[in-house]
Every structure is written in C-alpha cells, then in structure tokens.
Homo-oligomer: A and B are copies of this chain.
Amino acid sequence: MITKDTNFLIVGLGLIGGSYAKALKNAGYSVSALDINEESIQYALENKIIDKGDISEKRLIQEADFIFICLYPTLLKSWIEENQQYFKSGITISDVCGVKGKIVDATQEILRKDVEFIASHPMAGKEVSGVKYADPTIFEKANFIITPTDKNTLERIEMMKELAKILGFTNISVLSVQKHDEMIGFVSQLTHVIAVTLMNTNDNTHLVDYTGDSFRDLTRIAKINENLWSELFISNKENLVKEIQDFQRELEYFERILQNENVEEMKRLFIQSTERRKLFDKRK
C-alpha cells in the first residue's frame, strides 16, 4: 500500500527518473534520489524536484519504502547486488526497462526474499535525455505496463496500478514478460529500426527542401539514444529479428507485385493497410 508516508527513492535521475520524481513530489510524497552525476542531483535539489539527493549516500536507501530503479537495463541487477544489504525489509522495487525478458527473472533470482521486485515499463519518452528535461506530462497519454511473474503478489500488482495513476498514466495494463517483449518488438523496436534504416539507406539530406510531414513523421524516431537502444535491441534480439524478417518478407512481396505491375493485388494491400490503420486512429 502506498500511504502519505511512503518514502520514494529514485535511482538514476535521468529523463524518466526525473519525471517520476516530479510527479511524486507534485502528489505530495517524499522523494529522494541517487545518481552518479552530482550535477543532476544539484539541479534536482535546487529545482525542488527531490527532497534529498546524493551520489552514494546509503542512508537514502535505508530510508526508502519504494525504490524505482531508473537505470539502463544492464545496470539494474548489479545495482541491486551491491546495495540490497541496505534495503529495509518488506519494501517494493520496480524498474523502467523497455525489455523485460533478460532482466526480470534474473533480478528476482538474486533478490533478498524479504523484499519484492515487480517490473514495470513506462512507454513514454522524449528525444532528449537528462533530468533538466524532466516533465511528468509525458505520461499523460502514455501506457504503463506492469509485467509480473509468479513470484509477484496480487497486492503489489494492485499497488503498482495505484502508483501508475499517481504518476499520471491513464492507460495501465498488465502483461506477461513474454507478451510484453513480443509487443515491444513490433510496436516500438521494429518502428525504430525502420526509421533508422530509412535515414541510413542513402545520404538523402540534400532532399531536405522537398520533404513534407509524411517523411518527417516517419523518421522522427531516427533520432535515437545509441547507448540505450543498442542495449534494448540486443536484449530483445530474438523477437526483434523475427519482426524484421517478417517485415522483409512482406516488403519483398510488395516489390514483386510492383515489378509485375499487379495493380489489383497492390490495391488489395492498400485497402488492407488503410482498414487496419484506421483502427489505430480511434483510440487517440
């Protein structure tokens, strides 16, 4: 249960960690933060985004009732291994990782048995990073996905739903780790691969004068954080490779019907894509 007295600790005060801190502070909670970057901590303290902050102070861990680990996926497990000796008994820990398969089981495996790790994924972001851009409004129309395992309790799943509402998410759902990673492979990762690949195919930057909104919308996500996304892609490699291959097969098929000037089949594909895409309009 989250109460007025719940002490939150944010580990990793970047864009998401900072936005979580702001949202929780706005809702009246006590928020501390740890970050290896002293400037980020200073900025957050000066701007009252957090109540307490430090680069390494273990007392902040000892005081926490809920720890949000907002680090890159590869750092999650090692941070817990190094710091779980300081955890209060009974606390809840969550993360923000965009891929779950490689990290959830591994984290629960090494975790102290008197605390609970329940994974979650805020499907929100910006094309910039750092606490200076922290902005809880990015959660407003975003999805918050909780990915419990059989080691998680119903109570904590409910608690995470409650917390997601406090953070400002309107779309909150629960998915298995496997379903989550398959979904992410298509909805998020394949689309990023396509946008990046389109920008890299040829250097067409001389065409900037002729591009309209369609091209800009399609390639917006080609601006990508190379450290985070290379980690995310590799940790979801099997799902993503499958999605890329499925897409490639469909593209080869399209090329063939274009080569053959098969107008009727081309029209069928256009009608199908139009119908399917319309379904994605309605929720907006």
Listed in ascending order, the chain A residues whose CB lies under 8 Å from chain B are 123-124, 141-143, 145, 171, 173, 183, 186-188, 190-205, 207-212, 214-227, 229-230, 233-234, 237, 240-241, 243-252, 254-255, 258-259, 261, 263, 266-267, 269-274, 276-280, 282-284
Contact = CB atoms under 8 A, between A and B. Distances in A.
Contact of A273 (B196, B216, B276, B278): B196
A280 B208 contact: yes
Given A183-B210, A211-B187, A276 B205 contact: yes
A142 B212 contact: yes
A246 B201 contact: yes
B245 A255 contact: yes
Contacts of A171: 209
Contacts of A267: 226-227, 230
B220 A217 contact: yes
B259 A202 contact: no
A179 to B, nearest CB: 10
A273 B211 contact: no
A258 B277 contact: no
Contacts of A279: 205, 208
A258 B241 contact: yes
Contact of A222 (B204, B220, B277): B277
Nearest to A248: B251
Contacts of A190: 198
B191 A218 contact: yes
